[in-house]
Amino acid sequence: MAATVDESVIEGLAKQNGVTIGRILGRGNVGVAEEGSDGKMHGTVRIPLDELVFDPGVLVLPHAGTLELEIINDDNNSHCAVLPCNGDAKFIWLVNFSKGRATLELDGPGYYWYGSRTGNDEGGGLTGTIVVGGEVPDEAKPDRPPQPRP
């Protein structure tokens, strides 16, 4: 039997130095990448001042493909990002108040974690996710009737 959770506990998990030392992973805002006329998807994530998170923490791609990602560090500390990409991860160093870009190729469906590998930023909250929605192509599953899903 668990005790009733006080609202302050929930709030304290979603900030720096609340209940946890950092911010517990998997929380934050959800954003959706926009699909451009070139077929590529475009998205932006920021690192807000003193929050040690990527915002949005969850960036959703409607389908597999190319993501043109802008990353903005609005924090007064240096961070970085090791980003998922087919072929090899992409790395970008982000000094205080900097802005950079990454071009990422990702399969779907599924989701990928990424993080800032400096100073245990990853544990402190600077671990984000890129979610790729959609279904696998029909040619990957020929002649299989639809099955019940959860």
Per-residue binder mask for another protein (CB under 8 A), 127-146, x = binder? x-x--x--xxx-xxxxxxx-
Find the shortest distance in angstroms from Cβ 18 to another protein. 22
Asked whether position 83 contacts another protein by CB under 8 A, the answer is yes
Peptide bond into 56 cis (omega under 30): yes
Asked whether position 122 contacts another protein by CB under 8 A, the answer is yes
* Residue (of 67, 70, 72) closest to 34 by Cα position: 67
What b/e string do you get for 83-107 counting C-beta neighbours within 10 Å, with b at 16 or more? bbbeeeebebebeeebeeebebebe
How do beta strands 41-47 and 30-32 pair?
Answer: unpaired
Pick 6 or 150: Cβ nearer another protein: 150
**14-73 binders of another protein (CB under 8 A):** 46, 49, 71-73
Binding site for another protein (CB under 8 A): 46, 49, 71-74, 81-103, 105-115, 117, 122, 127, 129, 132, 135-137, 139-145, 147-150
